[in-house]
Amino acid sequence: MQSSLYVTLSGQSALQKRIDTIAHNIANVNTAGFRAEEISFASHLSRHAPTPVAFAVTGDSYISRKTGEIQRTGDPLDIAVRGEGFFAIKTPDGISYTRDGRMHMDATGALLTVNNYPVLDAGGAGITLDGSAGAPVIASDGMISQNGRQLGAIGLYLLDPEAKLTRVDNSAVKSDRPGTPVLDFNNNGVLQGSTEGSNVNPILEIARMVNIQRAFESAARAVENTETNLNDAIKSLGSPNGG
């Protein structure tokens, strides 16, 4: 009886983590370049009991790499990724990667993200534009030109499929393996005047939330019933007529 209680409690813990993750995804459904967080569930087999018991564990979190919807803005400093690449940016945590292409220039002409992090080229250096030369033209390979003069290229990087990604701010990620600069722009590239939205599917996430909340409520009732049965058994065994 106690094993069933512990199994149910472990299931509740796993479900609570999933609820928290979905809530965070839904809160960022309108955040440009946001990558949804997913959880891979697993179970742990305990052999300490007379018979093996499978407990649910909270699971490992991972960041989804699915692409979001591309939205046309017309702003020359808005850029979106075509394909699977990421922009590289310099953050306090080191080099990070993002699909949020909302950029701007500061007073010195440095190209920055919406959160004021320097945007890097393929060599890992910052990019400086001419603030008095008008709107830049950004080619599909990231090359930036102003008044017909090339000033540098926005770096586009591929991340190893096996790399572990951790979140930096809301839209950026940090990889445990360095990104590889894109050299072939047939399948990857840059789209000027556009941004990529979140890859969160709000309808799917809400449906998941409803189902998981129902499962959590069922687990809570199971815990309550188990406790009631346990208390009844203790009272019965402790009574004079308990045998």
pLDDT tens digits, residue range 3-51? 555 555 556 677 777 888 899 999 999 999 999 998 765 543 444 445 4
What are 192-218's pLDDT values in tens digits? Answer: 999 999 999 999 998 988 888 777 677
Q: Are 145 and 137 in contact (CB under 8 A)?
A: yes
What pLDDT, on a 0 to 100 scale, did the predictor assign at position 235?
A: 67
Q: Is 154 helix (H, G, I), strand (E, B) or coil?
A: coil
What pLDDT, on a 0 to 100 scale, did the predictor assign at position 223?
A: 61
The pLDDT confidence band at residue 119, using thresholds 50, 70 and 90, is very high
Q: Are 165 and 37 in contact (CB under 8 A)?
A: no
What pLDDT, on a 0 to 100 scale, did the predictor assign at position 58?
A: 52
The CA-CA-CA angle for residues 161, 166, 168, to 5°, reads 125
Looking only at the bridges linking them, the beta strands covering 70-72 and 194-196 are antiparallel
208-to-33, 56, 240 alpha-carbon distances in Å: 22, 18, 50
Greater confidence (219 vs 183) lies with 183
Predicted TM-score of the model (pTM): 0.76
What are 52-109's pLDDT values in tens digits? Answer: 444 344 557 889 999 999 999 999 999 999 999 999 999 998 999 999 999 999 999 9
